Structure 1
Amino acid sequence: MKYFKTPSKCPVCGDQLLVRKLSCKKCNTKIEGDFLNCKFCQLPQEQLDFLEVFIQSRGSIKDVEKALSISYPTVRSKLDNLIESLGYKLDHYQEDKIVDEQRENILISVEKGEISVKDAAVKLNKLK
């Protein structure tokens, strides 16, 4: 039997769905009530895939960059979006720290010859 991911959003209004009935596939026991989906169950597949790579990489952004062939700022952006999707807010200190890390990585890329000074200037101007 094929199983599908439980929908978490109402297709009509977009609000969160409740799970009302659970059953055991082995003994057919049934439980009825109002149950909320877990935070992770509500994430879109793209964020679940990113989370899986992030965990496999033990949180190493450099390893995530390599695994997904994306830039450091893209990894940070995806991570920030994931954090916010789970209901957490980034405080200003964290955001400032992230921007500082992005600047540092851009400068390191110039130093290594991975990007030109002109490209670095454009990227630095796009940061907050």
Structure 2
Amino acid sequence: MLTLCPVCSHRLTITKLACDHCQTKIEGEFSPCKFCRLPNDQLQFLEAFLKCRGNIKDVEKELGISYPTVRNRLDGLLQALGYQVDKEENRQENLSRQEIVRALEKGEITPEQATQQLRKMKR
């Protein structure tokens, strides 16, 4: 569904609804649901996340992306839906040692973040 004006890029509102069966027409000013306003890439991520029943490991495999990338996209999706996300805290929680090393090698986290995460695991 088109959600942004092609001329000025502001959010569009729905002004008319029609039933193809009985020809009823309803006019007014309606807002699309918050899921309808998501861009295609976030909708595709959401579909993969739901298909995998929220299992981040399965989402990793389904989309061919790393754990931190899945978490970042999930955080972005939550923010787009209007939820507040503490990115720094959520992005690094519950990484295994192997995932921490992989994320560090790929430059997705800093050495300081890797050290901090490894220290948390020892507790």
The question of a shared fold, defined as TM-score above 0.5 by the shorter chain, is answered with yes
What one-letter code is carried by the residue in structure 2 that aligns with 1:18? Answer: T
Aligned pair partner of 1:72 in 67, 71, 74:
67
What is the alpha-carbon root mean square deviation over aligned residues?
2.4
Partner SS state of residue 16, structure 2: strand
Quick check: 1:54–1:64 contact (8 Å CA) kept in 2? yes
1:98 corresponds in structure 2 to: 91
* Aligned partner (choices 83, 92, 98) of residue 108 of structure 1: 98
Structure 2: stretches of 5+ with no match in the other structure: 114-123
In structure 2, give the amino acid aligned to 1:84.
Answer: Q
Residues 41-87 of structure 1 show CA distances to partners (whole Å, capped at 9, x for unaligned) of 01111111110110111111001001111110111111111111112
- TM-score, scaled to structure 1: 0.75
Q: Return the letter of the residue paired with 1:7.
A: L
Contact between 1:20 and 1:35, CA under 8 Å: does it hold in 2?
yes
State the match for 1:11 in structure 2: 6
- Give the aligned partner of residue 45 of structure 2: 50
Residues 53, 110 of structure 1: alpha-carbon distance in 2 compared, 3 angstrom cutoff: closer
| SS state at 2:93 partner | helix
The runs of 5 or more residues in structure 1 that have no matched partner are 1-5
Percent identical across equivalent pairs?
46
* Alignment-derived partner of residue 16 in structure 2: 21
Q: Deviations over 1:85-121 (max 9, x none)?
A: 1121113xx63143233xx33x22478xxx5xx827x
Which residue of the partner structure matches residue 30 of structure 2?
Answer: 35
The alpha-carbon deviation at position 123 of structure 1 amounts to: 4.5
Name the counterpart of 1:119. 105
State the SS of the aligned residue for 2:110: helix
Q: Is the 8 A contact 1:99 1:127 kept in 2?
A: no
Per the alignment, in what secondary structure is the counterpart of residue 81 of structure 1? Answer: helix
CA 110–86 in structure 1, closer or farther in 2 if over 3 Å, else same: closer
- Structure 1 residues 124, 20: CA separation in 2 closer, same or farther (over 3 Å shift)? closer
- What TM-score do you get using the length of structure 2 for normalisation? 0.78
